[in-house]
Amino acid sequence: MLYNLGLINIKIFEKKFRGFLIVSIIMIASCYLSAQEKYPIVQSKAGEGISVLLNRFSLPASDFNIELFNKLNEGKFDKHGGLIIKAKYKLPVQIFKFTNSISRSTKIYDESTILAIKAYNQKIQTKGIKRSYNQDKDLWVPLHLVKQADNEENRSESVIPTDSPQKSKIKPSKAEKAKESVKEASTSKGESKDEEVSSKKSFVIEPLFGKTYQKVKIKDRKLKGHVFYLKSGHGGPDPGATGKSGGHLLCEDEYAYDFILRFARALMEHSATVYVIVRDTSDGIRDEKYLEPSYDEYMINGDSISPVQTIRLKQRADIINSYYKANLKKAKSQHTIIIHLDSRPNEKRIDIFFYYQEDVEQSRKMANSLYETIKDKYDKNQPGRGYKGTVTTRNLFMLRNLNMPTVYIELGNIQNKKDQIRFLDKNNRQAIANWLSDGVVKQLFIK
């Protein structure tokens, strides 16, 4: 996936090449910027660090953004590496001259990225940072939204929505562009609607899954029109529950996120529309036994994750509810599924258990379908093992505050050695993701 950002072409390498990537971006950008400034210039405030400044401009304080900010502003820090009060700094955001659509202005054709850019500009307009790009003709493009691009030939674009309920499409090839007509119309607010593109390929490419798993083969259309909001627990400044194995620290947010990505991929194989609410574009689906802890996760709309639990939960509920409302007229069904890992005394082994919303029949039905499927799979794959998972209601914030059927899943005790096998083995993580997908299909698919 190649995004042409002015003269900046961003190719994402493996994590060990991140430093080289950022240096390359800045070297190319600096030549261009000597002739014409293309980054927003902002002034620091007393007491601000880099993370606070980034958050003030609705940018997540991810490793990528912090490193890029440091490179963009070399030589403008105090002796301790901190910001200088009232000094001017460049943001890791590129400014484009807006014409009549985001895609034409940026040469970006991935619909999910276009929608994320649009949402970001609307957010900073609401905060009073700048006027609408339709008025001042300056379109701000946060570089973290496009940092996964590479230059593989004939590669399709992301199909997981980023900041809109509209299902993301696949970037057309040159031949397809010649055949397809481009539809554009003005919205009621006078904003232009970006190009809609489509493809009939039997597979899609989702970069969020990482290079090994990005190609998703579409097996059938059993879940077409059904929308899923998948949320892994914790993330960002909060690693969640922790355990230890072989001298390694196990963090709940890392394993829950890997389960969510595998589950999302399995649902997409049945043509589902999937929103991954918490995301880390530097990870993807990982096959390692020990998943390295990080703190650069952010929300689907680009927001950083609050360290305050009550704020964090409300932030997630508000995002999901807004998508639900926008999707009401066109979705066959909408469900949220939340995945956590539990933490109990290490001698306590637990099976996968499920919580559903009290008095929400579709929530109860989905939870029971997932439970029954997991139980059947264990009975077939490990005869005589016995499965002691449960399905109950519980008074949790997310179950109370989401407006659609929601199921909350605890996958086991991260401190128990036997339960850890369920998390540490990539094949086990994949099997559970597949089984959960089977449970969803069992509940929703009508022949």
SS (H, E, C) 122-154: HHHHHCCCCCCHHHHCEEEEEHHHCCCCCCCCC
Stretch (H or E) spanning 430? helix 426-444
CA distances from 118 to 54, 148, 163, 274 (A): 18, 18, 9, 20
Strand partners, 344: none
* Residue 304 DSSP symbol: B
Going from N- to C-terminal start, the domains of the chain cover 4-148, 203-444
Contact yes or no for 280/234 (Cβ under 8 A): no
436: left (phi over 0), alpha (psi -120 to 50) or beta: alpha
Name the residue among 131, 97, 103, 133 with its Cα closest to residue 115. 103
To 5 degrees, how large is the angle CA 105–CA 111–CA 117? 55
> Strand 226-232 vs strand 215-217: parallel, antiparallel, or unpaired?
unpaired
Name the residue among 251, 255, 256 with its Cα closest to residue 240. 251
CATH topology of domain 203-444: Aminopeptidase (3.40.630)
Supply the Cα-derived Rg of the chain in whole angstroms: 22
pLDDT of residue 96: 92
Residue 30: both structure tokens together: 């600096």
Contact yes or no for 216/206 (Cβ under 8 A): yes
pLDDT of residue 140: 94
Q: How far apart are CA 373 and CA 174, in angstroms?
A: 44
Beta strands in 237-297 (DSSP E): 242-245, 248-251, 273-276, 278-279
pLDDT of residue 188: 28
Q: How far apart are CA 235 and CA 303, in angstroms?
A: 12
Hey, what long-range contacts does 185-191 have (CB within 8 A, 24 or more apart)?
190/134, 191/132, 191/134
Contact yes or no for 161/275 (Cβ under 8 A): yes
Using CA atoms of 439, 440, 446, 447 in order, give the dihedral in degrees to the nearest 10.
-60
Q: Give the phi and the psi of residue 416 in degrees, each rounded to 5.
A: -90, 130
CA distances from 109 to 112, 125, 167, 238, 382 (A): 9, 23, 14, 34, 47
Residues of the chain with pLDDT under 70: 1-37, 147-201, 346, 447
CA distances from 435 to 24, 262, 381, 393 (A): 43, 11, 12, 22
Terminal-residue alpha carbon distance, the chain: 36
